[in-house]
Amino acid sequence: MLGPPYRMRSARRDPWVRFRIGVAFLGLVLIGGTVGYTLLGLEPFDAVYQTVITVSTVGYREIGEVDRQYEAFTIFLILFGTGTVLYTLGVLLETLFEGQLDDQFRRQRMQRKIDELTDHVIVCGYGQVGRSIVAEMHRAGKAVVIVDRQELDVGELPDGVFIVAGEATEDEVLKEAGLQRASTLVVALDSDADTLFVALTARTGNDALFIVARANGGGVVDKLERVGVDRVVNPHEIGGSRMAAMVLQPEVTDFLDVVMHDRELEVRMAEIEATLQTGYVGKTVIELLTPNQPSTTLVAVRRHGRFITNPPGDLEIEIGDMLIVLGTDDHIRAMTAHRAG
């Protein structure tokens, strides 16, 4: 299971293995040649020099007294050493050339897959915060497109996670990430100015986009909301509040963490939007839950930007209400899949 920090491991064979093997053999050839010429009577430095010029086939004259043993050893060193040098050089060029082509082809294939995505999540910024977001999205089964200035090995990305290398502040880069077809944009950049610019650009390019932005300072929150950001998150404030909650109510905090993040827990929290298709509009809370979902708890209803907690049984569900429910996966799936008869 993937988790923060993002544990990505390439399943492909390391393309540099053969090159490292060639370098290792070349090192053995140089050592063997030096030892051999030393035994034939050359000084150590002269032996190294003779080995190098022999293996590299530069054609300089031999050093020392040349006899039958000297000639036989030199012939062997030329055949074996030159072959090793050519092999190592060939593997190096092949690895560099094929690696670039393979990476280019994989990026083209990835871009084609991105062009086919709809309702995906775009995450701008792949630092510590961005990695945690991508890991959570991946666990939830969401298709994710990462936008980051750093080059990432596309072969290391898991299924359903894609990468567009470039500046998120550039319109063309966001377009390549499928901005107009995406359902959600998460801006996790370190710079508030860049975050503001990306949010404004994204809102202009996609009116229906749900935008969540990271704010590193409190002064930018109002500005982000004015340009159309739906949710603004300040990691520093959330971190402080969470630490305080662990001190004041540790068990409640742990329970909420487990409910929100532990997929193996029997119950979890979810949100369900009341639309005409769900058949919930016009029904009361009792009518909604009692007949079909006796084991599901309606924790709150969000209406017009405010929460109605512990909603009364006679509360009538209106179109656009967001139902916050607590229940098992089966009950939540049943509510989500429910349609008017």
**Domain map of the chain by residue range?**
17-110, 117-233, 266-337
Averaged pLDDT score across all residues of the chain? 82
Residue 130 has pLDDT above 70, yes or no: yes
Q: Locate all alpha helices (DSSP H) within 290-340, ordered by sequence.
A: 329-337
Using CA atoms, how far residue 138 sits from 101, 110, 121, 160, in Å, is: 28, 17, 10, 7
Contact call for residues 187 and 198 (beta carbons, < 8 A):
yes
pLDDT at 4 over 50: no
Q: Which is nearest to 145 in space by CA: 105, 96, 188, 178?
A: 178
State how far the Cα of 161 lies from the Cα of 259, in Å rounded to an integer: 25
For residue 278, the SS3 value is coil
Q: In the chain, what percentage of residues exceed pLDDT 90?
A: 26
* pTM, full prediction: 0.59
CATH number of 17-110: 1.10.287.70
Q: Please check the confidence at residue 209 and state whether its pLDDT lies above 90.
A: yes
What would the mean pLDDT of 6-12 be, rounded to a whole number? 38
Give CA–CA dist 188/129, Å, rounded. 7
CATH of 266-337, one of 3.50.30.30, 3.30.70.1450, 3.20.20.70, 3.40.50.300: 3.30.70.1450
Average pLDDT rounded to a whole number, residues 210-237: 89
Instruction: Tell which phi-psi region holds residue 121, choosing left (phi > 0), alpha (psi between -120 and 50) or beta.
Output: beta
With tokens 């009364």, the residue in question is 312
Domain 117-233, architecture per CATH: 3-Layer(aba) Sandwich (3.40)
Mean pLDDT of 327-336: 74
Residues 134, 146: contact at Cβ < 8 Å? yes
Most confident of 15-19, 216-220, 243-247, 273-277: 243-247
Distances (CA, A) of 334 to 235, 255, 294: 34, 24, 12
pLDDT band at 98 (very low <50, low <70, confident <90, very high): low
User: What does the longest C-alpha to C-alpha distance in the chain come to?
Assistant: 109
